[in-house]
Amino acid sequence: MAGTDIAIDLGTSTVKIYVEKKGIVLIEPAVLAVDIATDRIIALGEEAYKMIGRTSERTAVIRPMSNGVISDFGLAQEFIRYYLKKLHSSRVFMPRVVVSIPCSITEVEKRAVVDAISSTGVRKICLIEEPVAAAMGAGVDISKPHGSLVVDIGGGTTDMAVISLSDIAISSSMQVAGRTFDDMIVKYIRRKYNLLIGERMAEEAKIAIGCVYPQKETRVFRAKGRNALTGLPQWADITSDEMLEAMIEPAMQIVRRIQETLESTPPELMADVYEDGIILTGGSAHLAGFDTLISKKTKISVRVAEEPENCVANGAGKAIRYIDDMENKEYGVLNPLSAVY
């Protein structure tokens, strides 16, 4: 029996697993809770995410995939193994896996991803570069000799690339993304209100009322935490205008990187990008006003992909059908997969 192939998006914030013919079947925060004394894993995924900021001194909540690469190999391996096993137990046999990787990672980092997954009993691992997967997931036909600029703004990294003929013409990656916005909100609220809030509260506020371009309506969110001086519980009503103030700097860093990428794009592809506009993917593409901000600054139209947070996983899933070509080494075929192990 051939079995069912799967695709994995090992994101810094969330891990998504796509099963052939089914689509995305699993979305879990890329978080583990560990007992410091015994090194034992106490919780994974959603359960561990809920423990952020609520742990005792004995437990640590760890993100094994920080900044787009595996930062804690052992824990990343445990994490992947746990969820693949869960799929196994639901009778999905997965001989082959497509994994998305940031295009800026080193051979050693690539190897770490491959090793972590192969240790879970997978027969074949194919790699796809994240912007290529994001473009495919956003519905771009990357087999055409036509350039598209895709910007994936995730949790830990923002990756952007001009893609044409299943290949990356130019790409750039930076560690400014969703978590940077959360950090900026924490700092802003502390500075302005002497109020200490956790990263989960900051993310909640960002999702509820965050924006990076002035909005018609001012919205309010009650941020709860404790006073930085007295340590007592405290809250503050934060407005969307304040969120803009807190987040505009990192948002502009991303805009500037897009401008630089455009400046180094070959002229023919640049004309294509002008014509089609920029495509935004990744969870942070949901941030209100990001499309307007980028469009105003670059003078190019911007489209937020449908379900932007799922584009990479859906694109990697679409690339499953190229595994056979890759295995048969038909190099004449334009292939979005970049390597096979």
The site partner of 14 among Mg ion, ligand ATP, none (C-beta below 5 to 8 Å per kind) is ligand ATP
Q: Is 207 in the site for ligand ATP (CB under 6 A)?
A: yes
Interface with ligand ATP, residue 13, by CB under 6 A: yes
At its nearest, how many Å lie between ligand ATP and the CB of residue 109?
13
Q: Is 11 in the site for Mg ion (CB under 5 A)?
A: yes
Q: Which does 157 bind (CB under 5 to 8 A by kind): ligand ATP, Mg ion, none?
A: ligand ATP
According to the binding rule CB under 5 A, does residue 29 interact with Mg ion?
no
289 binds, among Mg ion, ligand ATP, none (CB under 5 to 8 A by kind): none
Based on CB atoms, which residue is closest to Mg ion, 59 or 100?
100
Binding to ligand ATP, residues 78-117 (CB under 6 A):
none
Query: Nearest to residue 83, comparing CAs of 137, 35, 123, 25?
Result: 25
| Near ligand ATP in 163-182, by CB under 6 A | 177-179
Residues 9, 26: contact at Cβ < 8 Å? no
Token pair of 167, please? 């290949």
Per the CB < 8 A criterion, the answer to whether 148 and 131 are in contact is no
27, burial (CB in 10 Å: exposed 0-12, middle 13-18, buried 19+):
middle
Choice between 83 and 269, CB closer to ligand ATP: 83
CB atoms inside a 10 Å sphere around CB 21? 8
Distance of CA 289 to the CA centre of its chain: 19
Q: Does 291 bind ligand ATP (CB under 6 A)?
A: no
Residue 308 touching Mg ion (CB under 5 A): no
Which one of 110-118, 136-144, 155-163, 298-306 is the stretch in contact with ligand ATP (CB under 6 A)?
A: 155-163
Q: Is 154 in the site for Mg ion (CB under 5 A)?
A: yes
Chain residues in the site for ligand ATP (CB under 6 A): 11-14, 68, 154-157, 177-179, 203, 206-207, 210, 282-284, 286-287, 309
Chain residues in the site for Mg ion (CB under 5 A): 11, 154, 312
